[in-house]
Structure 1
Amino acid sequence: MTAVLPDAYTVRPPRLEDAQAVLELVSDYNTSVVGFADYTLDDAQDELSEPGFEPETDGWLVFDDGRLIGYGSVFGKGDHRQLDLDVVTMDPVVERFLLDRIERRAAELATEHGHVAVQVDIVNYQADKAREERLAGYGFERGTVFHRMRIDHDGTVAAPEVPAGVTVRRGAPDEASRRAAHDVLNASFAGQFGFSPRSFEEWQDSHESFSAFDWSQLTLLEVDGEAVAMRTSTNQFVEDENCGYIGHLGVLEKARGKGLAKFLLRDQFALDAAAGRSGTILHVDTNNPTPALGVYLSVGMQATLVMEVWRRQVTTA
């Protein structure tokens, strides 16, 4: 049954100037569940201005007498076979309304991109059991579990020794270096849960629009002149936790087992400590087909927050 909002509620697409209201809504919800905001104004602005996000068709704000009480969005990457959705509200009726809107839009996107069906994914804090039950009632199933991993830095962290035969390229000032990183990313993450390969242009535009990133934060590892590993870091956790963040760390299959991932991790720890950061954060899929979780634990990282991705299929019919 389609949810119907009370007559007093109004709905419209989001605008960039709504970022502060979205921040307050998301922060209130997150604090009620995990005890802290876990969101910043930059996060809200970046989300509302992400290249490829069309607010007029893919975003919704719900107001009660001028007060924002609900926010929903749907966003696709690459071929749009998998869509990321976001719904934030304290009101289950508003939640159902937004999910209904998103489902209809997801079916439209499937048709627009030539798919019979698409997967839609939503992230839920594991601590929010009530929402978990509601998602199951809406037909979602648990897809995977992500851990937020963190290591704290107390003073100087020694820079690791570069593995034999490896050349470290710091920064990606030109198209050639960016394309090399893009190729490694797509190859190393192929088949992992929720990963949608993006064209180089789409990937580059996304990074250039992201306020917490610049190309100096991309590192490549080369062996015999070939890029075999990459790492991107961002400042998205600096404001709220004074931590560096590893966005992606990928190693080509043929180069695994040589300590490259551990080097990139320890190298980032040293860089963050030298910059005065309190720690380094990353997210890991606990069902990752590579032994990523074990690698992160082995270098001293610990899980600080657990999130689950819930997934359902939406068909065009």
Structure 2
Amino acid sequence: MIPEDSRFESDPDVVLEETLEESGLPKGWTVGTPDPSDRFDVARLTQLLRGHEREGRGWAASGVDDVMVEVSEHGLRMRENVVVRDGHGEIRAWGSVHDRAAGRMLFVHIVERGIPDKVSDACSDVLFEWAVGQAKAVGAARGLDVQQIDTGAFADDERQHRWLSGAGFERVRTWWQMTRPVTPDEADLTGDPDHWEKDGVTFRLVRRQGSGMPDEDDLRELHEVLEGAFVDHFNHYEETFEEFVHRLREDPGHRWDHWWLAELTDGPGPQPVGCLVGTVSESAQGPDGSYVAYLGVLEAARGRGVAKGLLRTIIADAAARGRDRVGLEVDADSPTGAAGLYTSMGWKTKYVTESWHRDVPVDPV
């Protein structure tokens, strides 16, 4: 279930306690929370996020909507934020934590580029100490002995690597961020991408009710397929149905008409065995793209062409919408051979990211 109140501690002073006095921040610099209703705060966080992306991989893609996912009142049911301000009140560093699932807390760590090393190191230390305090808070609220902090870095961001290593994080996984061009003629790749069949497998959109909302039974089927498909995958933590739907609806690219189910139909009745959750990748410079947020196939149905069929579906859908690409992320060390499937279907790696983890012991309540 989604909690009515956050499991995090909202006051940075409580989390950091005496750390601020020994932080090494310049005189007059302060630690607090951002104001999502202040357009200057939101603009500044967007600027910091885009600068972080530009330095780490060569270009920026995020915008205001991505920032609001982290800091809005709606987002704060499962998140908390902290910022470091200079003597003039300008935000120089930003941390965000997300209560992703029982045992797994995501952490965003961004420090402005270009400020002196001594100052940026001090900002980084404050963000890490705050994240550890929040890990203890959310872990205690969930009744855990250990809380994982899961954060990421671009593969070429040496400054971030140095900070993460120094703060006790371990690099645990590499991810290929892949993209595939889409051409207009691929709109006919599957027939109607909303509903088509091949070799005893039906691929269809999640049903919609008269109100336009998706059928809850379909959503629950999709959630169960994903949980079953990923149960043995790297760093999988089970999410409740409510957590799953809440989180995916927060994505700025969320669209209900980008969720597909695959069902075996050569038995006594339809059997859900695969699913794909897609999103929109908006672009200010050209056509939008589609993105594969989740692709899951139950082990018992592998070898039936389900994954390939779902990928063909989102390609055809993207082409029909006038989009020029489909992106996705794949575990570079995946034992399922997913990377080989993607490569064979035209995907190429655009850039590389990494997962870094730290396990934090939780103090008894």
For residues 114 and 176 of structure 1, the distance between their equivalents in structure 2, rounded to whole angstroms, comes to 30
Residue number among 126, 135, 158 corresponding to 1:106 in the alignment:
135
Task: Confirm whether residue 86 of structure 1 aligns to residue 108 of structure 2.
Answer: yes
For residues 259 and 227 of structure 1, the distance between their equivalents in structure 2, rounded to whole angstroms, comes to 14
Q: Any unmatched runs of 5+ in structure 1? A: none
Residue number among 48, 52, 55 corresponding to 1:32 in the alignment:
55
Contact residue 318 and residue 325 of structure 2 kept, 8 A: yes
CA separation of 1:196 and 1:49: change in aligned 2, threshold 3 A = farther
Residue number among 76, 84, 95 corresponding to 1:72 in the alignment:
95
Aligned runs of 1:259-270 on 2, under 5 Å? Answer: 259-270=305-316
Contact residue 98 and residue 106 of structure 2 kept, 8 A: yes
- Superposed CA offset, 1:199-246 (max 9, x none): 112222223343321221100011131111000111144457721111
Residue number among 298, 301, 305 corresponding to 2:344 in the alignment:
298
Residue number among 180, 184, 198 corresponding to 2:225 in the alignment:
184
For residues 351 and 151 of structure 2, the distance between their equivalents in structure 1, rounded to whole angstroms, comes to 16
Partner of 1:216, secondary structure, is strand
Task: Confirm whether residue 12 of structure 1 aligns to residue 32 of structure 2.
Answer: yes
Residue of structure 1 equivalent to 2:362: 316
For residues 345 and 182 of structure 2, the distance between their equivalents in structure 1, rounded to whole angstroms, comes to 12
CA separation of 1:266 and 1:169: change in aligned 2, threshold 3 A = closer
Task: Confirm whether residue 126 of structure 1 aligns to residue 146 of structure 2.
Answer: no
- Superposed CA offset, 1:108-154 (max 9, x none): 22222111111111100001122212211211111100111100123
Q: CA deviation at 1:54?
A: 4.7
Residue of structure 2 equivalent to 1:219: 260
Contact residue 124 and residue 308 of structure 1 kept, 8 A: yes
Contact residue 181 and residue 325 of structure 2 kept, 8 A: yes
Contact residue 77 and residue 197 of structure 1 kept, 8 A: no
Identity over aligned pairs, percent: 29
For residues 91 and 75 of structure 2, the distance between their equivalents in structure 1, rounded to whole angstroms, comes to 24
Partner of 1:104, secondary structure, is helix
CA separation of 1:213 and 1:301: change in aligned 2, threshold 3 A = same
Residue of structure 1 equivalent to 2:165: 136
Q: CA deviation at 1:38?
A: 2.5
For residues 99 and 54 of structure 1, the distance between their equivalents in structure 2, rounded to whole angstroms, comes to 21
For residues 186 and 14 of structure 1, the distance between their equivalents in structure 2, rounded to whole angstroms, comes to 35
TM-score scaled to structure 2, two decimals?
Answer: 0.81
Residue number among 197, 211, 217 corresponding to 2:238 in the alignment:
197
CA separation of 1:74 and 1:257: change in aligned 2, threshold 3 A = same
Contact residue 40 and residue 240 of structure 1 kept, 8 A: no
Residues 171-180 or 299-308, more deviating: 171-180
CA separation of 1:47 and 1:195: change in aligned 2, threshold 3 A = farther
Residues 40-49 or 134-143, more deviating: 40-49
Partner of 1:272, secondary structure, is helix
Which has the higher Rg, Structure 1 or Structure 2?
Answer: 2
TM-score scaled to structure 1, two decimals?
Answer: 0.92
- Superposed CA offset, 1:70-102 (max 9, x none): 1101112232x1111011013222011111111
Partner of 1:217, secondary structure, is strand
Q: RMSD value over aligned CA atoms?
A: 2.1
Partner of 2:315, secondary structure, is helix
Contact residue 96 and residue 108 of structure 2 kept, 8 A: yes
For residues 304 and 280 of structure 1, the distance between their equivalents in structure 2, rounded to whole angstroms, comes to 12
For residues 199 and 119 of structure 1, the distance between their equivalents in structure 2, rounded to whole angstroms, comes to 18
Task: Confirm whether residue 165 of structure 1 aligns to residue 219 of structure 2.
Answer: no
Residue of structure 2 equivalent to 1:250: 296
Partner of 1:229, secondary structure, is strand
Residue of structure 1 equivalent to 2:85: 63
Q: CA deviation at 1:284?
A: 1.0
Residues 46-55 or 239-248, more deviating: 46-55
